[in-house]
Amino acid sequence: MQNNNSGSTPTSRNGAKPSATPGSFARARENANRTAEAARTANATRTATSGRTATKQPVRSAGTTKPKNKKKKNKNSIWRKILKYLGRTLLVVLVTVIILLATAYIMIYKCCNGPSEAGKELFVTTILESGQMKFLASWVLSKEEIVAIQEKNAMPPMTTDIDTDLINIKGDDDDPDDTGAETGGDYVEKEVFDKNGVRIVEISGRTFFAKLMIVKDPSQVRVGSSYSNGWGEYGIELEKIVKNAGAIGGINGGLYESSGNKGGNPYGVVVQNGKIICNKPNSNSGLYLIGLTNDNILIIKDLKDIKSASAFESYCKEVGLRDAVCFQEESTDANNHFVPLVINGEGRELNGMGSGANPRTAIGQRADGAILMLVTDGRGAQSHLGATASDLIAIMLEYGAINAANLDGGSSSSMYYDGEYEMTSTTLYYQHSSWRLPDGFVVMPKN
């Protein structure tokens, strides 16, 4: 029976193997060559694959470290990330600054070129009273326009000499229970002073908040300063001026070089306890002296006729000047400053707005000799613009001032009493203290 197993070799009927043909040998060789070629291709592929794997993930024996170029690459990557983030941050800051400047310019432009003439005048008079921001007015207005606004709102000068007979200083034995003050036919209610003869009154206006320090005995009011065998480049905060003088309170004082908030160099003249510690009466135009004599009378003196240091020395001896600082009276396209507020019981006349709205410091004296020391806020503090010259005059007259003067204001305005600030600088960085100052009026403790 014939075997049909597919795995057996075919045979002839008599059992012999069939003889090979030339075609079958050729086909066998071709198949063998194809098989060998496929094997070689497979081996080459495996070799290439294993080589790439070895390159990407080299095998390291135990104890070996990463190559140094790998560490360097990682450090470079970190620095690139840092620089990338820094660049983005600077770009955000730059864009923010540009947006803020553009917004400020648009607001100023609309204020100065809008329908409100009063708004434009308020902006110009206010900004020209600032120390570092005066240039903003010239952003949108010509010099001629600024001068025209200033001339329209300038206050007429007060040339009347102070009548010292209007001041009758009371002693402690003069009716101690009756401490009111007469002014304009009105009578101020009886006052209650603390153990040092000081009373602080809070005053709220439409565009400002203020505190008025009333010192019953004018002999307690002196000038304190940062002076120590010369003027340094930097002044000191009001708190330090007060403490260095052995005082209990005080307010900022006169005009000084304010750029960079160094505060070490006063302008004009400064007299402390009878000693002239700054003698430059013609260092600036329009300087006024504000001080107290040995008789404790507040004086407000235009220094235009005192041309030299020696002339000022003679003046001090003549009037018996005990303590004094300077401020400036000027109404130009560069400044909008004013000094006299009340002279001999008469308030200063105003033209137009008279002044802008800003933080203020002022000093006055009542008929009974008591000293009035006023500080207001402004420039955005508690959403307040500040006080105008009209506000200062009104307050001083209301509280009985016979004579009163404006002092350096703005960011310098501050009041300190009994270990704490009653009024701080409106500058954000110094919102819990004062700017650096060269001088101030201080209140000595009661004897």
What average pLDDT does this structure show over 299-320?
Answer: 97
Q: How much is the pLDDT for 128?
A: 79
Query: Is 37 within a domain?
Result: no
Instruction: Pick the last residue of a domain from 133, 153, 173.
Output: 153
Instruction: State whether 194 and 258 are in the same domain.
Output: yes
Question: Residue 304: pLDDT above 80?
Answer: yes
Mean pLDDT check: name the lowest of 57-61, 120-124, 356-360, 414-418.
57-61
Residue 187 has pLDDT above 80, yes or no: no
pLDDT at 21: 55
In the chain, what is the straight-line distance between the N-terminal and C-terminal CA atoms, in Å?
A: 149
DSSP 60-79: --TT----HHHHHHHHHHHH
Residue 216 pLDDT:
97
Residues 118 and 174 in one domain: no
Structure tokens at 352: 């137009």
327, 232: one domain:
yes
Indicate whether 373 belongs to any domain. Answer: yes
Give the single-character DSSP code of 201.
E
Identify the H or E element spanning 363: strand 361-366
Helices (H), ranges, 172-295: 238-244
In terms of Cα–Cα distance, which of 298, 265, 244, 262 is closest to 416?
Answer: 244
Query: What mean pLDDT do residues 266-292 have?
Result: 96
Cα–Cα distances in Å, from 380 out to 320, 357, 431?
42, 11, 12
In a domain, 42, yes or no: no
Distance CA 281, CA 303 (A): 7
Q: Which of 317-321, 347-351, 377-381, 436-440 has the lowest mean pLDDT?
A: 377-381
Return the structure tokens found at 15. Answer: 């059992």
* Short-list 145, 325, 99, 104, CA closest to 225: 325
- pLDDT tens, residue by residue, 211-263: 999 999 999 999 999 999 899 999 999 999 999 999 999 999 999 998 888 99
Q: What angle do CA 77, 80, 81 make, to 5 degrees?
A: 90
Q: Give tens-digit pLDDT for 326-352.
A: 999 986 655 678 999 999 999 999 887
Helix (H) / strand (E) containing 417: strand 415-417
Of 307, 407, 409, 315, the C-alpha closest to 358 is 409
Q: CA separation (Å) from 117 to 120, 121, 200?
A: 5, 6, 38
143 and 250 inside one domain: no
pLDDT at 35: 73
Q: How confident is the model at residue 178 (pLDDT cuts 50, 70, 90)?
A: very low
Q: Which residue type does 344 have?
A: N
Residue 401 has pLDDT above 80, yes or no: yes
A 10 A CB-CB count for 334 gives 13
Asked whether residue 149 falls in the same domain as residue 169, the answer is: no
pTM for the model stands at 0.74
pLDDT of residue 28: 67
Q: Which residues contact 60 (CB under 8 A, 6 or more apart)?
A: none
| Residues 325 and 270: beta-carbon distance below 8 Å | yes
Q: Residue 273 falls within a domain, yes or no?
A: yes
Residue in 419, 420, 414, 418 with CA at minimum distance from that of residue 435: 414
Same domain, 130 and 170: no
150 Cβ partners below 8 Å, 6+ apart? 124, 125, 128, 331, 332, 333, 336
Mean pLDDT rounded to a whole number for the chain: 83
pLDDT tens column, 11-48? 444 444 445 555 566 666 677 777 767 767 766 666 55
Residues 185 and 215 occupy one common structural domain: yes
Q: Pick from 153, 172, 189: which residue ends a domain?
A: 153
158-176 per-position pLDDT tens digit = 989 999 999 999 766 554 4
Q: Is 307 exposed, middle or buried (0-12, 13-18, 19+ CB in 10 A)?
A: exposed
Instruction: Name the residue type at position 119.
Output: G
Residue 409 lies in a domain: yes
Rounded to an integer, the average pLDDT of 117-142 is 77
Query: Which of 94, 124, 153 is a domain's end point?
Result: 153
Asked whether residue 143 falls in the same domain as residue 221, the answer is no
Structural domain boundaries, residue 170: 164-443
Q: What span, in angstroms and rounded, lies between the C-alpha atoms of 59 and 327? A: 83
Same domain for 383 and 320? yes
Question: Which tokens hold the place of 164?
Answer: 């010292």
Q: What is the DSSP letter of 174?
A: S
Number of structural domains the chain divides into: 2
Shared domain for 308 and 414, answered yes or no, is yes
- In 3D space, the residue among 137, 129, 132 whose CA is nearest the CA of residue 155 turns out to be 129
112 shares its domain with 223: no
Residue 365 lies in a domain: yes
Q: Which amino acid is at 336?
A: N
Cα–Cα distance for residue pair 88/79, rounded to 1 Å: 14
Q: What is the pLDDT of residue 389?
A: 93
Same domain, 201 and 317: yes
C-alpha dihedral sign at 420, 421, 427, 428: positive
In a domain, 23, yes or no: no
The shares of helix, strand and coil residues in the chain, as percent rounded to the nearest 5, are 35, 25, 40
Determine, yes or no, domain membership for 29.
no
